[in-house]
Structure 1
């Protein structure tokens, strides 16, 4: 399990660097509440972005974005609302957007990265 956890942490680090490099301001990482965890909370202009990061060594068992299904998106919305309630000053006046970031490769620092804005 530790190797999987390390892979996930490395993927989240790469995703945060990717978003920062594109001008996003990272507000929070691995934010937890009783309902679960948000990988990354960021600001993109006037948008508050909640990003789910999925990292896999390969797509042999399916693309990582396939794991962000309708049920997962609904859970992310609930988590985003909890984050907003906990941080009203940072969320004020911002539209909410859910994103998903997939990283595939043995080394997340070099793997293929795909960023999907507005998860349905």
Structure 2
């Protein structure tokens, strides 16, 4: 298992432990990929997972710049259009930041980290 898969598994386990329900993993289209799609009551949650072993070259949060946010939003819109059942839900974009070594990772969940309107 590579570090990306490990980080996604860690985020998945954490979010399920917080009461979110799994919908889909690694959804992709031409515009990009969404790591996790979860559901929290009537909200569809698009989750970006970022792992950095250290903060030396900038933190995980800084790596989700405006262009990355736009790619996630376009991919989320693609998902919504392709899955009619989603029309009954509101949407939110969350970020799970993971840092440190695999034997003692630190995890930070940012709910509603950014919005479609920028």
Give the TM-score of the pair, scaled to structure 2: 0.90
* Cα contact 1:73–1:119 (8 A) shared by 2: no
Find the counterpart in structure 2 of residue 112 from structure 1: 106
Find the counterpart in structure 2 of residue 85 from structure 1: 81
**Where in structure 2 are there 5+ consecutive unaligned residues?**
none
Find the counterpart in structure 2 of residue 53 from structure 1: 49
Q: Distance in 1 between matches of 2:67 and 2:29?
A: 18
- The aligned length equals 114
Deviations 1:99-120 (A, max 9, x none): 111100121x631001111122
Find the counterpart in structure 2 of residue 13 from structure 1: 9
Q: What is the aligned counterpart of 1:28 among 24, 28, 39?
A: 24
CA-CA distance at 1:62 after TM superposition: 1.2
SS in structure 2 opposite 1:30? Answer: strand
Q: Distance in 1 between matches of 2:104 and 2:26?
A: 22
Within the alignment, does 1:97 sit opposite 2:106 as a pair? no
Q: Runs ≥4 in structure 1, deviation > 6 angstroms? A: none
Give the TM-score of the pair, scaled to structure 1: 0.89
Q: Over aligned residue pairs, what C-alpha RMSD do you find?
A: 1.4
Within the alignment, does 1:73 sit opposite 2:87 as a pair? no
**Where in structure 1 are there 5+ consecutive unaligned residues?**
none
